[in-house]
Amino acid sequence: MVGEHIAAARIARGLSIDDVATATKLRSLIIEAIEAGDYSVSGGEAYLIGHLRMIAEVVGLDGDDLIDEYRGR
């Protein structure tokens, strides 16, 4: 699951949700929701894709791979 991969990568880097929020300029609520698998707070798929790319960069994941996983590829 995308959210689980993000959370695991974040924790492995020793980052808190607030650290990721600061780095991405996203609200902590959005990051928490994405990690929980709730994409509804992102404001639509185009925004979600952007959020996933930003979060991936901060936690050390490949953004394209993460988006492919989200899309089920």
For residue 41, give every residue at least 6 positions away whose Cβ sits within 8 Å of its Cβ, in sequence order, or none. Answer: 29, 30, 33, 34
Q: Domains of the chain, with CATH numbers?
A: 2-70 (1.10.260.40)
pTM: 0.93
Q: Does residue 44 contact residue 50 with C-beta atoms inside 8 Å?
A: no
pLDDT band at 67 (very low <50, low <70, confident <90, very high): very high
Helix, strand, coil content of the chain in percent (nearest 5): 75, 0, 25
**pLDDT tens-digit map of 28-55:** 999 999 999 999 999 999 999 999 999 9
